[in-house]
Homo-oligomer: A and B are copies of this chain.
Amino acid sequence: MSDSLETPLSKVKRGPNRAQYDKETAFNIIDSALMCHVGQTKNGQVFVTPTCHWREGDYFYWHAHSKARNVKGPIDEPEKVCINISQLDGLVMARSAMHHSVNYRSVTLFGVPELIDEKEEKVRQFKVFLDKVSPGRWETLRPVSDIEIKATGLVRIKIEEASIKMRAEPPIDDPEDIDWPVWAGVIPLEKKWADAEQDPIQTEAYALPINPNAS
């Protein structure tokens, strides 16, 4: 069993020096993000849909209304979708305009979505998702209903065909520009969870939920 996600389709052609195919690295980037972008086609037109995702083992999951394009489309008309998960980490300020860049982590994933239709497995996955969003919260909530389970479409793809691209370094300028008199370096982008805003219609004091590690 190889832990490489490289295939002829996922192999990176442009900037191959920044490409990786290691499964663990892909898992870390996938888990660090709450949202991904699902690319699919319908009648020959490409669509990109942002959605929340989660992972269990080698599988990548997302959900939506059972009639939504990004869960129903690839089941009705099976195709290999493309999903990108990316994190912007900083601005790279170089001594010349075209050497400016960004520091980032990005996974591009390919696979044919598979519908999860079995009720107990759906509920189990919804809990895996909520445990990503706020660990321990699932048990404190009003239980999910049969109607909600039915109305929610759940799909997954196996993580076996993907590429990673990352940049995490200072600017790389042309050698002859190194002494150009302008500040050069990286401005990191930080994301943080701000103070929780309680629902205005709720006046009781309850314990705050736990924030996710992903963002």
Closest chain B CB from A63 CB (angstroms): 9
A75 close to chain B: CB less than 8 A: no
Copies of this chain in its oligomeric complex? 2
Bound form: Cα–Cα A204–B95 in Å: 13
Give the residues from 14 to 57 in chain A that come closer than 8 angstroms, CB to CB, to chain B.
14-15, 34-35, 37-41, 45-50, 52
Closest chain B CB from A206 CB (angstroms): 4
Instruction: Please name all residues of chain B whose beta carbon is closer than 8 Å to the beta carbon of A186 when the two chains form the complex.
Output: 196-197, 199
Closest chain B CB from A66 CB (angstroms): 10
Closest chain B CB from A117 CB (angstroms): 17
CB–CB B201/A193 < 8 A: no
Closest chain B CB from A82 CB (angstroms): 5
**Main SS at interface, chain A:** mixed
Closest chain B CB from A14 CB (angstroms): 5
Instruction: Give 13 pairs: A residue, B residue, CB < 8 Å, sorted on A.
Output: A35-B102, A37-B86, A38-B48, A46-B79, A48-B82, A48-B84, A50-B106, A52-B102, A93-B196, A94-B141, A183-B208, A186-B197, A190-B191
Instruction: Please name all residues of chain B whose beta carbon is closer than 8 Å to the beta carbon of A126 when the two chains form the complex.
Output: 97-98
